[in-house]
């Protein structure tokens, strides 16, 4: 039984060589990855870098990281500002309701005291008239 590999719907059987398998894999891409271009141009696929797949990742530049952090910071500040503004409005509304309630209670108490005073005056007058 011979080893076999299916790549891009083609079966490769027999003694498989790294170069043949690697070329078959890389040829299946419409846009050839940088990794494939690098090693296909040199025709040196036996390098340790290829076998260990080192240097594949391209890191982000410091400028890109700083830009991302600043963008997140600006977004956080905008959200915090909107939340604070909303909380202030809610607090003002609640305070206005409480002040109106206290004023209404005070006016009701004042009217009650005035009515009680008027009744007391009227009853004094009635008792003095009798």
What band does 70 get if pLDDT is binned at 50, 70 and 90? very high
Give the range among 40-49, 55-64, 72-81, 111-120 with minimum mean pLDDT.
40-49
DSSP annotation of 7 reads: E
Domains of the chain: which residue ranges?
4-52, 60-130
**Helix %, strand %, coil % for the chain, to 5?**
70, 5, 25
Q: Note whether 41 and 52 are within 8 A (CB).
A: no
Residue 14 backbone class (left: φ over 0; alpha: ψ -120 to 50; beta: rest): left
Residues 6+ apart with CB under 8 A from 23: 40
* Rounded distance between C-alpha atoms, residue 76 and residue 80, angstroms: 6
What would the pLDDT profile of 21-35 be if each residue is shown by its tens digit? 777 788 778 888 777
Q: Is a pLDDT exceeding 60 seen at residue 126?
A: yes
* Rounded distance between C-alpha atoms, residue 124 and residue 37, angstroms: 112
* Rounded distance between C-alpha atoms, residue 46 and residue 39, angstroms: 9
Arithmetic mean of pLDDT, 82-89: 96
């Amino acid at each position: 039984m011979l080893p076999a590999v299916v790549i891009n719907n083609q079966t490769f059987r027999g003694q498989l060589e790294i170069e043949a398998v690697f070329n078959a894999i890389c040829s299946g891409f419409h846009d050839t990855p940088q990794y494939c271009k690098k090693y296909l141009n040199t025709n040196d696929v036996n390098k340790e870098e290829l076998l260990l797949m080192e240097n594949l990742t391209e890191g982000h530049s410091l400028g890109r990281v700083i830009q991302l952090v600043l963008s997140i910071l600006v977004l956080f500040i905008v959200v915090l500002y909107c939340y604070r503004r909303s909380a202030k409005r809610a607090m003002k509304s609640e305070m206005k309701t409480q002040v109106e309630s206290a004023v209404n209670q005070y006016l009701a108490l004042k009217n009650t005291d005035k009515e009680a005073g008027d009744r007391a005056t009227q009853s004094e007058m009635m008792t003095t008239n009798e």
